[in-house]
Amino acid sequence: MRKLFLASAAILGLTALSAHAADNKQIDMLHWWTSGGEAAALNVLKEMLTKEGWVWKDVAVAGGGGDPAMVALKAMVAAGNPPTASQMLGYTALDYAAAGKMGDLTETAKKEGWDKVVPAALQKFTIYDGKWVAIPVNVHSVNWLWISKPVLDKIGGTEPKTLDEFIALLDKAKAAGVIPLALGGQDWQEATLFDSVVLSTGGPEFYKKAMNDLDEDALKSDTMKKAFDNLAKIVSYADPNFAGRDWNLATAMVIKGDALVQVMGDWAKGEFHAAKKEPGKDFLCPRFPGTDGSVVYNSDVFGIFAVSADRKAAQVALATATMSKDFQSSFNVVKGSVPARTDVPDTAFDSCGKKGMADLKKANEGGTLFGSLAQGYGAPPAIATAYKDVVNKFVHGQITSSQEAVDTLVKAIDEAK
């Protein structure tokens, strides 16, 4: 009897061990890359790791900008069940690190010399207390226009260089019976648009003061009021059905020629790429009018959590794959973003991607590279949330003047601090 018990215990033990071993080969990744372009980009990573023998498990939580994904992540971490890694923005990885939840990739980072190739602006968000807690995946920027070339030609327009020219172009589209602006009426998209409007209205120094330093005088200023006025004007060119629209559906309006232009981060280019559209021929990608020379950026990072020792190898494999020069090129070509390393050639990128890389380098050297407040790179999450809320209320008429908007914004940011 005793012998039998020992034998079955051994079998049970073995079964448990092999299940465990199977677990160790698994990479579960929480992310919000669910649009066509995003899924195609993520596939580059899945394929790379699957070839190496890792088992990929998607934990996808739809919702551009990632707010729903971050709610899901919080619940998983609170339940003591963190994924191998999670897509994150800005201060999120640092916040989890401060709470003692993050793992440590410093050994891999040292071995692979990450500190020599990752721009300092990104290291600020991936290193906590001297330890690498997140893997930089890419650099996106938000101050772009995505213009349908056929529609632009049809209405006889040209690329706008200033806000006034932009408004004149939107008027031209309207007069021609085309939807001028493809807008997704969700708080994060409206705030992403407003980042560009603030930069264009006030210039680089003003953007930094208001949106990164959260300087109260700047936030209360006439320039900020003017920015809200400009936002109201621009939003008035959207079609009546914009409320709640997903960002990729707005991009699809431009791709199909149903609308002239979308103002969005360069993840929109991932949609053009997935639809096999070519820059210069099918669409144009100038910077948001009046923001040439500055880059308002965000960067996707894979935050890695403190996990049991047997799950660490998966994190290291993910890190090594993600940081490889090959991946940084092939992934970002599809995603619409640019590499998070400075030593990746631009050869494989289209003209928008090449421009994105050159702009980033120039802005970084010239001190005009700024974090996007809407995307969590201007201030910690609570402040970004307050900002998105105020912009959303303004766009949807719950805040009725730009004076009320700046007053509400100053108060909301103050309370969120």
Query: Which residues form the interface with ligand BGC (CB under 6 A)?
Result: 32, 38, 64-66, 89, 140, 247, 267, 298, 300, 375
Q: What is the 3-state secondary structure (H, E, C) of 109-147?
A: HHHHCHHHHCCHHHHHHHEECCEECEEECCEEECCEEEE
Closer to ligand BGC by Cβ: residue 46 or 233: 46
Closer to ligand BGC by Cβ: residue 228 or 267: 267
Shortest spacing between CB 191 and ligand BGC, in angstroms: 11
Calculate the dihedral angle through the C-alpha atoms of 84, 37, 368, 378, rounding to the nearest 10 degrees.
-50
Closer to ligand BGC by Cβ: residue 142 or 261: 142
Closer to ligand BGC by Cβ: residue 61 or 147: 61
DSSP string, 286-353: PBSTT-TT-EEEE-EEEEEB---GGGHHHHHHHHHHHHSHHHHHHHHHHHS-B-SSTT--STTS-HHH
Q: Could you tell me the CA-to-CA distances from 10 to 7, 51, 77 in Å, in that order?
A: 5, 33, 33
Closer to ligand BGC by Cβ: residue 28 or 38: 38
Closer to ligand BGC by Cβ: residue 206 or 267: 267
Closer to ligand BGC by Cβ: residue 140 or 225: 140
Shortest spacing between CB 66 and ligand BGC, in angstroms: 5
Shortest spacing between CB 116 and ligand BGC, in angstroms: 25
Shortest spacing between CB 189 and ligand BGC, in angstroms: 9
Shortest spacing between CB 117 and ligand BGC, in angstroms: 21
Q: Would you call 390 helix, strand, or coil by DSSP? A: helix
Shortest spacing between CB 335 and ligand BGC, in angstroms: 7
Closer to ligand BGC by Cβ: residue 66 or 371: 66
Closer to ligand BGC by Cβ: residue 64 or 286: 64
C-alpha span between 171 and 178 (Å, rounded): 10
Residue pair 117/126 in contact (Cβ under 8 Å)? The answer is no
Shortest spacing between CB 273 and ligand BGC, in angstroms: 12
Residue pair 130/118 in contact (Cβ under 8 Å)? The answer is no
Q: What is the 3-state secondary structure (H, E, C) of 255-272?
A: HCCCEEEEECCCCHHHHH
Q: Could you tell me the CA-to-CA distances from 401 to 74, 190, 393, 396, 404 in Å, in that order?
A: 36, 16, 11, 12, 5
Q: Would you call 165 helix, strand, or coil by DSSP? A: helix
Shortest spacing between CB 322 and ligand BGC, in angstroms: 14
Shortest spacing between CB 247 and ligand BGC, in angstroms: 6
Q: In what order do the strands lie in the sheet with 179-181?
A: 179-181, 259-263, 145-148, 283-284
| Residue 67 structure tokens | 């707010």
| Residue 340 structure tokens | 């998070």
